Structure 1
Amino acid sequence: MQALDRCKKVLLTSLFCSVAVYVLIGQRAHRDGATFSALDVQERVLPSQLIQKASTTTTTTSTGATTEPPDLSTDIINPHPYDFILNKPNLCKIDGDRELQVVILVPSGSTNFQQRKAIRATWGNASLHQGFKLAFLLGYPKIKAVQPMILAENNLYHDLIQENFTDVYHNLPLKSVMMVRWVTEHCSNAKFVLKIDDDMLLNVWGLWAEVQTSLRGARRTMWGLLAQHWTPNRNSVSKWYLPVRVYRKLVFPDFLTGPAYLFTGDCAPVLYNVSFTVPYLPLEDVFLTGMVAQKARLSRKNHPGFVNYQKILQACAEPRQITSHGYRPFSLIKLWKALSLKDGPWKCRLRHNSKNVTGQTSDVNLTVQPQRLSVTQVKTK
């Protein structure tokens, strides 16, 4: 009998140790010194490529709509202990009684100098003419010799925001948390926030018209390409393998795919605070617009103007086209020229007599004028 009792104790002790080790492994979130060998890729990969789609269609147009307060019941398990190296605390200050409609924040790889230059010469410049604000979000480069180049770039353009986490692909969620942190602390007056990657084409005039009309008055809402019923990639030989120890559930919550999404300014502080209570996941879009937004009880809506492929946009098209995806600097400049010259007489006259999201009837006569731009002008800048 004593021998049997000793055996039971040994078995229980062994089981307890095994469980403890497994829990510790499961809780380990990637940070600067840790590795996800299967996820550590050099090239820019769409976060949703780490996911297997259960369905290629969006079954509903929105998710998560609720008037209940966010769920803050969980203790802090995912802090954001990083500091700003470069900051733009006064970027969103507006003189007089004017309102800041949109701040555009562009997560950009620390070495993507040419992408940022192309954006400044195309839709980034046009967005400033529309009264928007623009900044690029960076982490700290893996190669330290790059940092002086970043500082020189910022001295020239004054549009970089940088935190001191390592700028690698699987740290993209840190950039998203950095984004909502910065909006919370320095840009709380923005009506809307557009997150858009540095390989995207933006129809500035379509975005401007949209926030002035059909999206006007919205609160606690996010828009983009809504992904529903997507599942983690469990193929261990896949480049985008996501092991169970990182994410245990069978299906992701509904989320907005990462290349571009728009949200009302009042979402930022909620997303920032709730992000501390959600386990880290190395998928930016699933983490922020899925897991965090779901817990924060924010509404996420599908918007047909956001597409994740290359598409020649039309500045004044209806329904409005806002973004397309997958451009290197030269092709971005080329497509921008096509977009800005597309509408012939240089003006888009949009008249709307429809109900906005507040239920009030709006009768708005908008005039937006695309800016002339040639490839020659860009090259000589």
Structure 2
Amino acid sequence: MRKRRVYLYCVCACVLVYMYNFLGVSDYVFSKSYDDNFDYPLNIDVRPLVNEILNGKKPSVAPINVYPYRFLTNSGKCSTLDRLDLFIVVKSAMDNFGKRNAVRQTYGQENHIPGRIVRVLFFLGIEDPKSITQVRVEREMADHKDIIQVDFQDSYYNNTIKTMMAFRWLYEHCSTADFYLFSDDDMYVSVNNLLDYVHDNPTSETTNEIDKSKNKGNGRDSILFAGYVFNSAPQRFSWSKWRVSLQEYPWNKWPPYVTAGAFVLSNRCMKMFYVGSLFVKSFRFDDIYLGIVAKKLGVTPTHCPKFHFYKKHYSLSGYKDVIASHGFGDPEELYRVWNELNPY
């Protein structure tokens, strides 16, 4: 009987230790307070550095976060334009050919809205340069001339690279748009509703002093970073796809962040985010990373309920005010919904 009891105690202890590690209990217990001591590197005020670069000066501190990748293709979509209402960046995976075609034929139509100048580009990484997928992508690039390919491995955990290389391209080659929409390739988007929203809501709350005199009016001089805002905590479960260790991120909460499915930035905010990212250590989840950059810049993300992180149930009346909705992985569904909502 005594041996049996000892055996049960040992089994229970092993189960408890396993669950303790499996659920990441120690990481939750020993995480730092975000509210009391958030000091993500660089552990300095990056705002003066951003000001220096935006005012054409050399920064007094060297950047720590320059992604060592090259653009394999380019585009002159912005080179001849004096003004641009909206630039749409679509983050796409290599083999999502059907999704890209669906975007081109729906909200990616650049002449869809009379009197509005809209441009669209897709951003991709790379695979094996001799793969069938790469050959098809090269043919697609030749046919449509709307893909920027970057020489990093296209994978889920490299989404931050894709996002920030898109920021770099915009900063270097297309800094003229009033607003920039970043979207995944499985979104429904209403460009009409988006443009109505950004012109009705020209600025977000900001606690920074980055050239505050220019934070007025709308368009390129406003500070707007908007979408579906989350306030949440890191997952520490050992089995989770989104597990984050204390070594990677030691705080108990994320900064407020806009989910990466779709978000919009003003011209000035795009520039601030790109320049600010040079002084903020990279992080593998792009939406979290932009939330961290926003925190370092003193920019408060604006929650807009017209951006839907989850797929909003479709009805003709229910989508009247929708700006973006996730979950349109089937191109045929995007065609059907778009055509019903845009019959002319």
Q: If the length of structure 2 is used for normalisation, what is the TM-score? A: 0.72
Tell me, yes or no, if structure 1 residue 303 matches structure 2 residue 335.
Answer: no
1:335 match: 337
Query: Any idea what SS the aligned residue of 1:83 has?
Result: coil
Distance 1:184 1:118, change over 3 A: same
Among 65, 68, 73, the alignment partner of 1:86 is 73
Tell me, yes or no, if structure 1 residue 137 matches structure 2 residue 123.
Answer: yes
* Deviation per residue, 1:33-54 (Å, 9 max, x gap): xxxxxxxxxxxxxxxxxxx9xx
Q: How far off its partner does 1:245 sit?
A: 2.0
* Deviation per residue, 1:166-191 (Å, 9 max, x gap): 11100000111111111111111100
CA distance, structure 1, for counterparts of residue 84 and residue 161 of structure 2: 25
Distance 1:144 1:250, change over 3 A: farther
Q: How far off its partner does 1:322 sit?
A: 0.4
1:70 match: 47
CA distance, structure 2, for counterparts of residue 178 and residue 313 of structure 1: 36
Structure 1, 184-193 or 326-335: larger mean CA deviation: 326-335
Query: Any idea what SS the aligned residue of 2:177 has?
Result: coil
Query: Any idea what SS the aligned residue of 1:84 has?
Result: coil
Amino acid in structure 2 at the alignment position of 1:93: S
Spell out the pairing of 1:193-212 with structure 2 (5 A cutoff). Answer: 193-212=180-199
Structure 1, 118-127 or 103-112: larger mean CA deviation: 118-127
Query: Any idea what SS the aligned residue of 1:234 has?
Result: coil
- Equivalent pairs counted in the alignment come to 270
Q: If the length of structure 1 is used for normalisation, what is the TM-score? A: 0.65
Q: How far off its partner does 1:273 sit?
A: 2.0
Query: Any idea what SS the aligned residue of 1:79 has?
Result: coil
CA distance, structure 2, for counterparts of residue 315 and residue 87 of structure 1: 40
Distance 1:79 1:148, change over 3 A: same
Could you tell me whether the CA contact under 8 Å between 2:226 and 2:258 is conserved in 1?
A: yes
Q: How far off its partner does 1:316 sit?
A: 10
Q: How far off its partner does 1:268 sit?
A: 2.1
Could you tell me whether the CA contact under 8 Å between 1:206 and 1:322 is conserved in 2?
A: yes
Distance 1:245 1:128, change over 3 A: farther
2:255 match: 253
Tell me, yes or no, if structure 1 residue 108 matches structure 2 residue 85.
Answer: no
CA distance, structure 2, for counterparts of residue 115 and residue 140 of structure 1: 17
CA distance, structure 2, for counterparts of residue 101 and residue 294 of structure 1: 27
Among 131, 135, 140, the alignment partner of 1:148 is 135
Query: Any idea what SS the aligned residue of 1:250 has?
Result: coil
CA distance, structure 1, for counterparts of residue 165 and residue 112 of structure 2: 22
Spell out the pairing of 1:203-352 with structure 2 (5 A cutoff). Answer: 203-215=190-202, 217=218, 219-228=222-231, 230-288=232-290, 290-311=291-312, 312=314, 320-327=321-328, 328-341=330-343
Q: How far off its partner does 1:141 sit?
A: 2.1
Among 137, 148, 151, the alignment partner of 1:161 is 148
Distance 1:313 1:340, change over 3 A: farther
Structure 2 gaps, min length 5: 1-27, 29-44, 50-59, 203-216
Could you tell me whether the CA contact under 8 Å between 1:313 and 1:321 is conserved in 2?
A: no
Could you tell me whether the CA contact under 8 Å between 2:106 and 2:338 is conserved in 1?
A: yes
Query: Any idea what SS the aligned residue of 1:248 has?
Result: coil
* Deviation per residue, 1:115-136 (Å, 9 max, x gap): 1011111111266544210000
1:369 match: none
Q: How far off its partner does 1:285 sit?
A: 0.3
CA distance, structure 1, for counterparts of residue 238 and residue 319 of structure 2: 44
Could you tell me whether the CA contact under 8 Å between 2:46 and 2:279 is conserved in 1?
A: no
CA distance, structure 1, for counterparts of residue 150 and residue 247 of structure 2: 28
Q: Which has the larger strand fraction? A: 1
Could you tell me whether the CA contact under 8 Å between 1:193 and 1:262 is conserved in 2?
A: yes
Could you tell me whether the CA contact under 8 Å between 2:46 and 2:297 is conserved in 1?
A: yes
Q: How far off its partner does 1:211 sit?
A: 3.3
Could you tell me whether the CA contact under 8 Å between 1:306 and 1:322 is conserved in 2?
A: yes
Amino acid in structure 2 at the alignment position of 1:261: F
* Deviation per residue, 1:258-315 (Å, 9 max, x gap): 1000000112222122212222211110102x11121122342111211112223769
CA distance, structure 1, for counterparts of residue 308 and residue 183 of structure 2: 12
CA distance, structure 2, for counterparts of residue 261 and residue 326 of structure 1: 15
CA RMSD of aligned residues (A): 2.5
Structure 1, 325-334 or 305-314: larger mean CA deviation: 305-314
Query: Any idea what SS the aligned residue of 1:278 has?
Result: coil
2:212 match: none
CA distance, structure 2, for counterparts of residue 139 and residue 105 of structure 1: 14
Stretches (4+) displaced over 4 A: 126-130, 313-318
CA distance, structure 2, for counterparts of residue 267 and residue 208 of structure 1: 16
Could you tell me whether the CA contact under 8 Å between 2:229 and 2:258 is conserved in 1?
A: yes
Among 92, 117, 120, the alignment partner of 2:104 is 120
Amino acid in structure 2 at the alignment position of 1:137: F
